[in-house]
Amino acid sequence: MEELERSVVLITGASGGIGSAMAEVFARSGYNLALHCHSNKERLLDLVNSLLPLLKEDQEVITVCGDLSCEEEVDQVLAQVKDKLGDIDVLINNAGITRDKLLMSMKTEDFDSVIASNLRSVYLTCHGVIRSMLKKRHGRIINISSVVGVNGNPGQANYAASKAGIIGFSKSLAKEVASRGITVNCIAPGMIETKMTEVLTDKAKEAILSRIPMGRMGQPREVAEAALFLASRAAGYITAAVIPVDGGM
């Protein structure tokens, strides 16, 4: 795919399985990378070291850390990226948490923390980058939702609400900025093979696989490749879409 030369991508939650795969895919495609984590900077630095052999001579990668549910910390993260790399061309909101419990056992803080980390953070980062994208009349925003945000899931009312909220937010923002050359889309991953799914019992995995027509879990790179496509010029006429990466789930 033909990309804008040395475009800048900010990937939030880059130290996780899907985030790391995105970092590798975008590094191989020639982007300048701003990789974010909440607090695990050591893991993020390990990721950067693994990416260095993939970078071209003038390609840059930086790390930024902060709580993206906090407006002041979002401002600091975005200011660091602008200072070191310039304006953000592609924003990928991948950071998120789970606090799974049945509703009758769910505490208010379990609900509030998930909404803040998963949904409020998307509002704050999008709000922080949209002005510069409008000024340049170009930009790509890719928000990572979930199949759970589309279908719901027992024990995940808070997570489902946050991920469904991302979809509604993205569709609305897409319509606000479409005339200025900015696209806003969602990816809704299904069951992806990461450290989060490694802890599942064999019985739980069998139950999940029985609901996936393709009969296997997805790989982080498969989500990353979908993000790369949505960031490309080839996806210039796609906006307000929710792209499932779920094996037909």
The domain defined by 8-243 folds into Rossmann fold (3.40.50)
pLDDT band at 5 (very low <50, low <70, confident <90, very high): low
Query: Is residue 237 annotated as part of the catalytic site, yes or no?
Result: no
Catalytic residue among 31, 123, 159, 237: 159
- Name 35's bridge partners: 11, 63
d(CA 96, CA 171): 19
pLDDT 10s digits, 174-194: 999 999 999 999 999 999 998
pLDDT, position 2: 43
| Residue in the block written with tokens 């909440």 | 38
Q: Whose structure tokens read 């340049």?
A: 136
pLDDT (tens digit per residue) in 124-147? 999 999 999 999 999 999 999 999
For residue 197, is pLDDT > 70?
Answer: yes
d(CA 37, CA 121) in angstroms, rounded, equals: 13
Question: pLDDT > 90: what percent of the chain?
Answer: 90
Residue 58 sits at φ, ψ, to 5 deg, of -100, 10
Instruction: Give the separation between CA 165 and CA 154, rounded to whole angstroms.
Output: 17
Q: Report the pLDDT averaged over residues 236-245.
A: 98
Does residue 54 register a pLDDT over 70? yes
Give me Rg for the CA atoms of the chain: 17
What confidence tens digit (pLDDT) does each residue in 80-106 have? 999 999 999 999 999 999 999 999 999
